[in-house]
């Protein structure tokens, strides 16, 4: 299955991109990097630049129909930029409308809030987002990973890089081999 990883051109926490990417690839899926701009994205470890990664497709070219699931890696600047991009927010909405699984880690639920898709759903995130998520109507829990099944939708969320093993395990299990 093709999996879209949605990111801004800079600000993604590298490990929150690479670990889920590798876990899904190892399970036989085909991850693809979708971004708001063509070229390469700049990853970070906290505030320090790390590697760059090639963009496979821009968000204005992408659609939920061509992917089986959506992954939103975190970092602080990445989701903040995505939630200000109308095409990125629209893409997130279409994954929910299509009933495709969505996964978000760390600060990535900011983009989910902007897409207005967390209301009445149980989620976790980096702790500093809990008030934002509750104000958007979500049920916030302090757990390493949360899986919320809501009708046709599956939402997998996690708090931080230290939870990546659990996040990747639940994500792979939800998508199957």
Strand partners, 51: none
Do residues 105 and 158 touch, judged by C-beta distance below 8 A? yes
Q: How confident is the model at residue 107 (pLDDT cuts 50, 70, 90)?
A: very high
pLDDT of residue 152: 87
Is 151's pLDDT higher than 90? Answer: no
Gap between the Cα atoms of 150 and 14, Å rounded = 30
Domain hosting 58: range is: 2-175
Q: How do residues 7-41 score in pLDDT, each as one tens digit?
A: 999 999 999 999 999 999 999 999 999 999 999 99
Q: List, by residue number, the catalytic residues.
A: 107
- The enclosing domain of 132 has a CATH number of 3.40.50.880
Do residues 27 and 174 touch, judged by C-beta distance below 8 A? no
Q: How confident is the model at residue 177 (pLDDT cuts 50, 70, 90)?
A: low
> How many domains does the chain divide into?
1
Gap between the Cα atoms of 40 and 101, Å rounded = 25
Do residues 97 and 64 touch, judged by C-beta distance below 8 A? yes
Q: How do residues 37-88 score in pLDDT, each as one tens digit?
A: 999 999 999 999 999 999 999 999 999 999 999 999 999 999 999 999 999 9
- The torsion region of residue 34 among left (phi > 0), alpha (psi -120 to 50) and beta comes to beta
Q: What percent of the chain has pLDDT over 70?
A: 99
Gap between the Cα atoms of 130 and 4, Å rounded = 25
Gap between the Cα atoms of 119 and 39, Å rounded = 34
């Amino acid at each position: 299955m093709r999996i879209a990883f949605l990111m801004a051109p800079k600000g993604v926490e590298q490990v929150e991109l690479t670990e889920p990417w590798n876990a899904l690839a190892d399970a036989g899926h085909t991850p693809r990097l979708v971004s708001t701009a063509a070229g390469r994205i700049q990853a970070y470890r906290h505030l320090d630049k790390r590697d760059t990664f090639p963009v496979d497709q821009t968000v204005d070219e992408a659609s939920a129909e061509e992917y089986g699931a959506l992954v939103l890696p975190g970092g602080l600047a990445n989701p903040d930029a995505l939630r200000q991009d109308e095409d990125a927010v629209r893409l997130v909405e279409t994954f929910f409308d299509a009933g495709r699984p969505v996964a978000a880690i760390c600060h990535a639920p900011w983009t989910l809030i902007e897409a207005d898709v967390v209301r009445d759903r149980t989620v976790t995130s980096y702790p500093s987002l809990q008030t934002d998520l509750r104000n958007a109507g979500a049920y916030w829990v302090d757990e390493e990973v949360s899986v919320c099944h809501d009708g046709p939708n599956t939402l997998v969320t996690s708090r931080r890089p230290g939870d990546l093993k659990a996040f990747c395990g639940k994500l792979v299990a939800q998508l199957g081999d």
